[in-house]
């Protein structure tokens, strides 16, 4: 991921546009709370369908926010190491998600 110019309003607008989509935000918060889940597990935790999750993950990977690692037949998804994204998610989640680990978000 490239370094972000925090003084550039267009950088912030692009970040907030990604966060402005409920599906992507649900996936980001699910990955933040539980890194390394597959698309089916992420979809279930986020309370969305697998197709919607796959499409949103593709957008997040293209933007550089998410990485994927193959683990046998499963592709596991992780937040990229981006301090700004992590800070925003912590603020959104109020430190960490208060739900139990198996409880869907939202």
Domain boundaries, the chain: 11-93
Query: What is the per-residue DSSP string for 36-76?
Result: TB-HHHHHHHHTS-HHHHHHHHHHHHHTTSEEEEEETTEEE
pLDDT of residue 100: 46
11-93 carries CATH number 1.10.287.470: no
Residue 1's pLDDT is 45
Q: What's residue 102's pLDDT?
A: 55
For the stretch 23-73, pLDDT in tens is 999 999 899 889 999 999 999 999 999 999 999 999 999 988 999 999 999
Residue 60's Cβ-count burial label (10 Å; 0-12, 13-18, 19+) is buried
């Amino acid at each position: 991921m490239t370094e972000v110019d925090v003084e550039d309003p267009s950088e912030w607008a692009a970040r907030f546009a990604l966060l402005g989509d409920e599906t992507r935000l649900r996936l980001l918060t699910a990955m933040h709370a539980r890194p390394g889940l597959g698309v089916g597990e992420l979809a279930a935790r986020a309370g969305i369908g697998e197709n919607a999750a796959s499409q949103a993950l593709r957008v997040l990977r293209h933007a550089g926010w998410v990485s994927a690692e193959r683990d046998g037949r499963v592709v596991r998804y992780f937040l990229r190491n981006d301090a700004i994204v992590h800070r925003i998610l912590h603020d959104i989640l109020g430190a960490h998600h208060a739900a139990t680990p198996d409880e869907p978000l939202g």
